Chain A
Amino acid sequence: GDSVTQMEGPVTLSEEAFLTINCTYTATGYPSLFWYVQYPGEGLQLLLKATKADDKGSNKGFEATYRKETTSFHLEKGSVQVSDSAVYFCALSDAGNMLTFGGGTRLMVKP
């Protein structure tokens, strides 16, 4: 079945550091890929998405590129802020099926 694997956290960075959170997936078809973010005390929010190979999703300075050859969708940001501290979830949707989420990666950004 479909699955999503994320790097385990927590990831701790200093403000203005470069962020990468790895995400790889297994799917039988050609899934759409998503990153959701959960800020403390809040529900998840869609951060960005990509629907086909080589697409790049971007939002709020975050980017992720759909790499079919490596089945990956790594999240990157060039300069993180304290306000980016949250839990990040990678997810996929394959052939109209329900979303499959990864385990989540907690990011902590220190001033």
Chain B
Amino acid sequence: AQSVAQPEDQVNVAEGNPLTVKCTYSVSGNPYLFWYVQYPNRGLQFLLKYITGDNLVKGSYGFEAEFNKSQTSFHLKKPSALVSDSALYFCAVRDPSNTGNQFYFGTGTSLTVIP
């Protein structure tokens, strides 16, 4: 079974400080991993993805994510948080060995950046 866990419902960070949003996954094969951001009353916007290769993936708006196979984690990071980063963040996984194409999403983490 494929699944994604986001252990923190809420993350608060001061503006200018580094931020981390955690994600762990469970798939039978080597996963494709994604991060999306959702602003109020909007759809999900793609931030970055991991396919293979370098464990540190860089994405949009200064975000990056670190893939750790031994810990089955794919944490989202940013060196310096902005107030405008406040939003809902979703981690998603797709198992390429599965013929289905859907993504499995976590329950989301609400990030608040405090001015």
> A and B, one complex?
no
> Interface residues, chain A, CB within 8 Å of chain B?
none
> Interface residues, chain B, CB within 8 Å of chain A?
none
